[in-house]
Chain A
């Protein structure tokens, strides 16, 4: 059982990265030790009722970094907080470390990674996958689909760690025009391991491709959440025909197990 905390943290900064995207840094000396790739926090935000789920984007020393897009009231109000404290619940959900790799039994954080990782990110799905990538100790390829050029995030960061980046935009403003899943297909080999996070339509397509080509992979799911800890059954999805709570049993599931 992963340790989680529900407490106030000091905001170090909360600034616009570009467009509608903001980066929030909080000081969390003890909590950082319990944060692993794939996990998220529920953030308390003024003037909205429920907390909002946001993934861990990075950990640097004592700092947790979040990267989020302003979508509606919650994220808008969040973007307006400039200093002071913020209450967070987490880290929540499973992490890539919790999942046992088959056929290779090695843990994902092992020094010698002998699989070739492919990250497939849609929109803000890239946020949590970056935290995975920097912990993988191996390079791979990222297939990154967004609506428009101005939605592209983290490109420099992925370049810095030596990843190959393939981009698609729906409006054609950069890279391939269309969906990332259109071009993914032909490049995949079955020694790849897929890590995917993005909208449901994308996950569905990727899981089809993975099944067809018999490729291993993991999908991180997003659902509307009320509690984030498994109490309300609000975020339940079907996995291998069983009900699973995205917030507690996931967010990461084996790609072949999800029924989308």
Chain B
């Protein structure tokens, strides 16, 4: 029991202290919780999705709690890429953990424009870019519903950026492994599985929808098994690493994603409940590995999947 397991992982050439990243949109621009937890302990930070121009987001109500989770309709409120590189990025660079910037656009061109602006920054600040291809807010349908559009966006951004790019996919597609494969084929370096699940909640007291936009995205414990399903099935089809995401509340949940095939995980709703949960998850992963006498976190990636494949 005295052995200290190695939680470090090389993800897309980035050295992470541990596999726990913050999920986009649930950790602000990255430093709002700096007085509550030691940000240095995180594996990495994925920032709020930024767009070319600032966005005001959706009207209230934007949040509603459901059984074991929540629905949100923030509407990609953000300060736009120019303001982002002015202040938040500078502050983020001082934290000392890898920074992954999440971006989204209405069109392929917008994705490229943002990539160009990010590309002009000091290369060492941004470790990777996550393409939010799954947000239902910008267009009527998530971009990843249109396979060729999604592929063009990845190709376009890939040509501009030298750093790795991660495609974040929506769970609302007929065949996630096929989509992930399509992303891989045009050069995505990793995929994040998955974003929130489309959902509706209605108030029976006054017969009105609980969110201003009626439709929202579901996150939290309630989506975990569905996201693990997507990770498990995609792992069998693709070679690029997977960022597992959806309902991770504990170290056990994180390991579950990794056993199914995720190389790293991103944690959203749990950190809204308490930013301390991020640190708790990291400590619990270490504890579980210790108990199982596993020397390195790398050993658990996909082992359930590989066993079954054999």
In whole angstroms, what is the CA distance A234 to B221 when docked? 19
Q: Does B86 contact A (CB under 8 A)?
A: no
Contact B63 A234 (CB under 8 A): yes
Contact of A50 among B33, B65, B271, B275 (CB under 8 A): B65
Determine the main DSSP class of B at the interface with A: loop
- Name the contact of B74 in the complex, choosing from A3, A51, A232 (C-beta under 8 A): A232
Query: Would you call B271 and A231 a contact (CB within 8 A)?
Result: yes
Residues of B within 8 A of A235 (CB): 62-63
B165 close to chain A: CB less than 8 A: no
- Among the listed B33, B64, B68, which residue makes an inter-chain contact with A224, where contact means beta carbons less than 8 Å apart? B64
Chain B contacts for A226, CB-based, 8 A: 63, 70, 72, 269, 272
Nearest Cβ in chain B — how far from A210, in angstroms? 22
Q: Which residues of B contact A181 (CB under 8 A)?
A: none
A30 part of interface (Cβ distance < 8 Å):
no
Contact residues in B for A51 (Cβ distance below 8 Å): 273-274
Specify which chain B residues have a CB less than 8 angstroms from the CB of A50 in the assembled complex. Answer: 65, 70, 272-273
Q: Which of A227-251 contact B (CB under 8 A)?
A: 227, 229-237, 243, 248
- Is residue B60 within 8 Å, beta carbon to beta carbon, of the partner chain? yes
Complex Cα distance, B275 from A87, in Å, reads 13
- How many residues from B make CB contacts under 8 Å with A? 34
Q: Are B72 and A49 in contact, CB atoms less than 8 angstroms apart? A: no
A-B pair count, CB < 8 Å, reads: 89
- Indicate if B69 sits at the interface (CB-CB under 8 A): yes
Are A236 and B273 neighbours in the complex by a CB distance under 8 Å?
no
Interface string of B33-77 (1 = CB under 8 A from A): 101100000000000100000001100111111111110101001
Residue pair A231, B60 in contact (C-beta under 8 Å): no
User: Contact mask A1-24 → B, CB, 8 Å, 1/0?
Assistant: 101101000000000000000000
A229 to B35, CA, bound (A): 11
Is A44 in the interface zone, CB < 8 Å from B? yes
Pick from A6, A44, A224, A227: contact of B61, CB under 8 Å: A224
Given known A224-B61, A243-B57, contact A231–B32 (CB-CB < 8 A): yes
CA distance A233 to B36 in the complex (A): 18
Q: Are A243 and B77 in contact (CB under 8 A)?
A: yes
With the chains together, A236 CA to B35 CA distance in Å? 22
- Segment at the interface with A among B23-31, B93-101, B180-188, B230-238: B23-31
Q: Is the CB of A4 within 8 A of B36?
A: yes
Set of chain A residues within 8 Å of B62, measured between Cβ atoms:
224, 233-236
Q: Select from chain A the residue with minimum beta-carbon distance to B220.
A: A49
Q: What separation, in Å, do the CA atoms of A232 and B57 have in the docked complex?
A: 12
Are A49 and B77 within 8 A (Cβ)?
no
Instruction: Pick the residue among A89, A230, A234 that contacts B32 (CB under 8 A).
Output: A230
In order of increasing CB-CB distance, the 3 nearest A-B pairs are A234-B63, A231-B28, A227-B272
